[in-house]
Amino acid sequence: MTLETSDIWLIILAGITSSFINTIAGGGSFLSLPLLIFLGVPASLANGTNRISIVLQSLLSAYLFYKKGKLDIKKCLYLSIPAVCAALLGAYLARFVANRDFELIIAGFMLLMLVFIFIGPKEWQNSRPERQQNGLSLLEFIIFFAIGLYGGFLQAGVGIAMMIALVLIFGFNSAQANAMKMGLSLLINLFALLVFQDGGLVNWEVGIYLSAGGLCGAWLGTTVSLKIHGKYLRWGLIIIIFILSLRLLIQ
C-alpha cells in the first residue's frame, strides 16, 4: 500500500493515543487496529503489524517502571512462562478467524470485564501481600495461559484482563499491576510478532510509523500512571471498556 503524508501523520497520532491508553489501562489496540483497517491494511495484516508498536512501547514503559522500582522482574518472568507459550498458539490460530467474529467476541469479553472491575474498589489502591506467590501457582498458570492465548490471538484488551487478574485475584495494587502488565505485554507480543512475521502478516513501514507515535504515548502514559490514584485508574478502565465495547457492537 502507498501511504500519503496525511496517512502517516494519522498513523503516528493513532500510535500516540493507543499507546497512552495501553500504558494507563489497556485497550489501545481498539483504536489502532480499526484505523489501520480503514487505511486499507487487511485485518490479519493489521493484527500482526500492530505488534511492532506494542513491543516497543511495552519495552519503554517496562524500563521506566523498573527504574521507578515498580516492576517485579522475577514475578513477571514466572508469569510469562504460560503466557508466552499460549501467545504462540494464539497468534497461529488468529490466521483462521474472520474479522467480524473477532469484534463480537471481544465486545462481549470487554463488557464481562466491567463486572469484575466494579468488584472491590479498594483493592485497586492497596496491595494484598498474602495473596501474592513467590513462584508460579497453578491458578496463575491457568489464568495467564488463557490471557496469553488471547493476547497472541488479538491483543486488544489483554492489558485490561491482566490488570483485573493481578489486582483482584493476586493482590497487587494498581501501580504494581500496571508495571507487570507492560513487562508481560512486551514478552507476549514479541513472540507473537515472530509468528505473524513468519506468516507474512507484518507491514514494517506502517509499523514503524505507528511505533514512532507509540513510543511518545508510552513515555507520557507511564509518567501519568505513576501519579494516578488507584480509584481514578479504576474509573478510567470502566469508561474505556464501556465506550470501546459499544463501538464494536454497533458498527
Identify the pLDDT of residue 233: 61
8 A C-beta contact, residue 218 and residue 57 = yes
Domain span at residue 158 reads 5-250
Which of 28, 51, 55, 38 shows the shortest CA–CA distance to 1? Answer: 38
Instruction: Mention every residue, 6+ apart, whose C-beta is less than 8 A from residue 145.
Output: 82, 83, 85, 86
Identify the pLDDT of residue 132: 60
Identify the pLDDT of residue 228: 63
CA distance 148 to 89: 9
Identify the pLDDT of residue 160: 81
Cα Dmax for the chain:
55
Which of 161, 29, 170 shows the shortest CA–CA distance to 102? Answer: 29
Q: What is the pLDDT of residues 73-100, one digit of tens each?
A: 999 999 999 999 999 999 999 888 776 7
Identify the pLDDT of residue 202: 94
8 A C-beta contact, residue 79 and residue 166 = no
pTM over 0.85: no
Q: How many domains does the chain have?
A: 1
pLDDT < 70: residue spans in the chain? 1, 25-26, 99, 102-103, 106, 110, 113-134, 226-234, 236-238, 240-241, 244, 247-248, 251
